[in-house]
Structure 1
Amino acid sequence: MTAPAFYPIGTPGQPWGAAEVAQWRASQVRHRSYHADVVGAIERLRSRFEVVEYGRLDYAPDGYPLFAIKSRDWQAGLPCMLVTGGVHGYETSGVHGALEFVERHAADYAGRANLLVAPCVSPWAYERIHRWNVDAIDPNRSFREDSPAEESAALMRLVAPMRAEVLVHIDLHETTDSDESEFRPALAARDGKPYEPGEIPDGFYLVGDSEDPQPEFQQAVIAAVEKVTHIAPADAQGEIIGSTVVAHGVINYPVKSLGLCAGITDARYRTTTEVYPDSPRATPEQCNAAQAAAVCAAIDFALARPG
């Protein structure tokens, strides 16, 4: 039997109500600036790419414009490559890896693909280095109709007109030590459930779609990233974060039924990256480079297989 983990908000065994959510929200501290770190970087890209504001989060007293970066030479008939980052705001390399891809590599695909990059889906959480939005909702379980998370709903509205054109969707994430020290205990407390300890894998891995796994695609991305950083091994049970390892560095989830970002289109090739930034074998620069390498590998694989 698993002993309940202590969490300072709520009553063990009872889901949170409005009072507990308000208490949790009041405990959150801003650690960094979305406007300085992310919007500033996007502004520097305006001379080379189209920047669109696709929504705004009004979380009084704070407001957050939501930005996406598009190919300036968008051409009808070209496949669309969708890159998303920062769905979980605390997963830093998802945000900065997406921006690094645009800065260093996006121009290589001009005239071959239409690129759409949403680098920071959850800016309130980015500033507070948290997984949830202001209402203690996980955006990456909220990509569905009538979404309770405005971050998720705004991204779905942006993508809706081009869903049929998306060939690749790569969603950039991290698995961190704080998943076990903070976020999973908080989730258990919020939902009034017992906390079940897990094991954090040391290294990069991918989450494919169990309904359409595309194993050759997943392995092409793993091979590219392995040149930048190490790949997570399976644990003693042959699993990564409780899911069976189906190939080197790859597990699968039913992304659409779970409401995950990777399921918002019918892209033939879709995957979720998971970087491990707390590894003594990885630097922040490596983590960002691994994300960018994954994006390039995903796009290159798809472009090499027309039709």
Structure 2
Amino acid sequence: MTNPASYPIGTPGSPWGPAEVAAWLSHQSRQRSYETDVLAAVDRLRSRLDVEQYGRVDYAPDSYPLFAIRTRHWREELPCVLVTGGVHGYETSGVHGALRFADRHAADYEGKANLLIVPCVSPWAYERIHRWNAHAIDPNRSFRPDSPAQESAALMRLVEPLRDRVRVHIDLHETTDSDESEFRPALAARDGVVFEPGEIPDGFYLVGDTENPQPAFQQAVIAAVAAVTHIAPADANGEIIGSAVVAPGVINYPLKKLGLCAGITDATYTTTTEVYPDSPRATAEQCNEAQVAAVRAAIDFALAHEGRG
């Protein structure tokens, strides 16, 4: 386990400045291809769905186009569904689950809902299998006015015209062992605070909205995913990642207050999935399928309760 004194960058107790961020950046390297893994998959959807470029992320010398996938026959009277993945680029099944849903199931909702699918919000981080962007900023704490993260600002601009029309928003994430071994220690070092070890839950869970929890919706998603992979139990304190478990596999965060992606609309139904890819009881295939099952269950619940809630 990494501890704050041994983290290789910075001085314990002192927040990072530009020199430390530059040192951190020098250790990051491309490990996979956004073009091969994501853009090629998006291109294969163009014959069936509308694809639009909604922005570009620039970290010289690298530049990444950002793409969204839409229902081809968009109808103003239908409810809107927002699916986002790859806000944290290292959370692989979020990206590939969104793409798989678009490929295999978008047609199921033709004439029932307008779909807006953004499979990879953070391509620089996707390639480097990292949580942060190139400025050592977490996009998923940056969905707020005057966002310091290019990725977050671009997504907010895309969604703004639909903000009050989105019925359901499901944001696809993972919780990994590297959260505890690398990313949380790095966060503590960056912010100049003491790293306090936590516990990685073994299984799938959801993060609902403290201000709008929608428990029946969350449980419908959990029930669908339970047919694909196991649901994370509460720890000895009745918590998951330090938050009280309010129902099997469900915790709540104040989404908007924390600047989280799942809080960027006024949707009635919002949730963040958390798949655990490092479990000995789950495969990469199950992780992708769990994300797809969650998306489908979220949409199906919202459509079944249209006009209610």
TM-score when normalising by structure 2 = 0.98
Gaps of 5+ in 1: none
Alignment of 1:14-29 (within 5 A): 14-29=14-29
Aligned residue in 2 for 1:225: 225
Say yes or no: does 1:262 pair with 2:262: yes
Q: What's the offset of the Cα at 1:4?
A: 3.6
Q: What's the offset of the Cα at 1:195?
A: 0.3
Aligned residue in 2 for 1:272: 272
Alpha-carbon distance between aligned partners in 2 of 1:225 and 1:113, rounded to the nearest angstrom: 22
Aligned residue in 1 for 2:153: 153
The one-letter code matched in structure 2 to 1:267 is A
Say yes or no: does 1:96 pair with 2:96: yes
Say yes or no: does 1:107 pair with 2:107: yes
Alpha-carbon distance between aligned partners in 1 of 2:203 and 2:124, rounded to the nearest angstrom: 27
In the alignment of these two chains, the number of paired residues is 306
Give a deviation string over 1:54-89, Cα, whole Å, max 9, x none: 000111111100000000000011100000000000
Give a deviation string over 1:162-219, Cα, whole Å, max 9, x none: 1111000000000000000000000000000000100000000000000010000000
**1:5/1:185 contact within 8 Å kept:** no
Alpha-carbon distance between aligned partners in 2 of 1:60 and 1:4, rounded to the nearest angstrom: 30
SS at match of 2:251: strand
Give a deviation string over 1:30-66, Cα, whole Å, max 9, x none: 1000000000000000000000100001111111000
Q: Which runs of 4+ in 1 moved over 3 A?
A: none
Aligned residue in 2 for 1:11: 11
SS at match of 1:105: helix
TM-score when normalising by structure 1 = 0.99
Alpha-carbon distance between aligned partners in 1 of 2:26 and 2:4, rounded to the nearest angstrom: 24
Alpha-carbon distance between aligned partners in 1 of 2:299 and 2:272, rounded to the nearest angstrom: 14
Q: What's the offset of the Cα at 1:5?
A: 4.7
Aligned residue in 2 for 1:195: 195
Alignment of 1:106-255 (within 5 A): 106-255=106-255
**1:91/1:174 contact within 8 Å kept:** yes
**2:4/2:189 contact within 8 Å kept:** no
**1:217/1:269 contact within 8 Å kept:** yes
Alpha-carbon distance between aligned partners in 1 of 2:4 and 2:142, rounded to the nearest angstrom: 26
The one-letter code matched in structure 2 to 1:215 is P
Gaps of 5+ in 2: none
Alpha-carbon distance between aligned partners in 1 of 2:120 and 2:130, rounded to the nearest angstrom: 13
